[in-house]
Structure 1
Amino acid sequence: MARGHEKIPVARIGKTVGLRGDLRLNLLSDFPEQFKKGAVFMSDRGDLTIESYNPARGTVRFEGVGDIDAAKRLTNAYLYTTKEAGEKACHLGEGEYFWYQIIGLEVFDGDKRLGRVKEIERLAGTDYLVVDTDAALVQKGAAKSFLIPYIDRYIDRVDLEAGRLSTKGAEAILDAS
Structure 2
Amino acid sequence: MEIECLNVGKIVNTHGVRGEVRVVSKTDFPEERYKKGSVLYIFKQGQSEPLKVTVASHRQHKQFDLLTFEEINSLNEAELLKESILKVEKEHLGSLDEGEFYFHQIIGCEVYDEEDKLVGKIKEILTPGANDVWVVGRKGKKDALIPYIPSVVKKIDISSKTVHIEVMEGLIDE
Judge conservation of contact 1:22–1:61 (CA < 8 Å) in 2. yes
In 2, Cα distance between equivalents of 1:56 and 1:144 = 32
Q: Aligned residue pairs: how many? A: 164
Q: Scaled by the length of structure 2, what TM-score is found?
A: 0.77
Aligned CA RMSD, in angstroms, stands at 2.7
Q: Percent identity?
A: 29
Matched residue, 2:17:
19
Match of 1:36 in 2: 35
The residue that corresponds to 1:9 in the other structure is 7
Give the whole-Å Cα distance in 2 for the aligned partners of 1:85 and 1:173. 36
Change (3 A) 1:162 1:17: closer
Moved segments of 4+, more than 4 Å:
none
Instruction: Please give the secondary structure, in 1, of the residue aligned with 2:82.
Output: coil
Gaps of 5+ in 1: none
Q: Residues 92 and 76 (structure 1 numbering): CA distance in 2 closer, same or farther, change over 3 Å?
A: same
> Which residue of 1 is the match for residue 152 of structure 2?
154
Q: 1:50-129 alignment to 2 at 5 Å?
A: 50-57=54-61, 58-86=65-93, 90-122=94-126, 124-125=128-129, 126-129=131-134
Structure 2 alignment gaps of length 5 or more:
45-49
Deviations 1:92-146 (A, max 9, x none): 222110111112222111132223423123153243222233x6xx5xxxx2542
Q: How high is the TM-score relative to the length of structure 1? A: 0.76
Name the CA distance, whole Å, in 2 between partners of 1:47 and 1:53: 17
Tell me the secondary structure at the aligned position of residue 19 of structure 1.
Answer: coil
